[in-house]
Chain A
């Protein structure tokens, strides 16, 4: 006999790629997001920044650690694992690496809090001259 005793939930995660010219820091991030310093919503983007920091890993280390057994090269991993924007973002990653920029990959989760859940299910690009964030991989 099987008895359901709680709501059925569906959690998910969304991959992101961050390219940063120098250390990925909050000051540059908030500038790229486009929110004013005195906005009453800065905390929302602080939470997003923290979620990125908590999960991001250098892209090649991330590949070696999690996907080297699945994909034969880093390039194949980017193109196939990032199913929505992989082909588009691969040249950006390779170009960034040749210029000494930092490239990170990680995942946002819908399990943590309502702020991260929203960003996990949203599809967005954050971009300026110092930072590029691609979080378009949501499948919602």
Chain B
């Protein structure tokens, strides 16, 4: 093979590739990448909510020990609410 033939062969453009599926996948990855700060925030929120649950549980236990007439309903309700909120945050993080 001489230089001219080789140059012609090397200069031939690379085969054209279809952009369709490639760019769709790329856009999905970019959307996932963009949602990352929201996901991190969700996990931080979950952490804070877990701390609230722990505090409410401790508070409830202490109140039960100190006053026999103490109603367990309020801390229990708070705990349930917190758990429901945590679940909602996690679901939203999964969706994003």
> Are both chains from one complex?
no
Chain B residues packing against A (C-beta within 8 Å): none
Chain A residues packing against B (C-beta within 8 Å): none
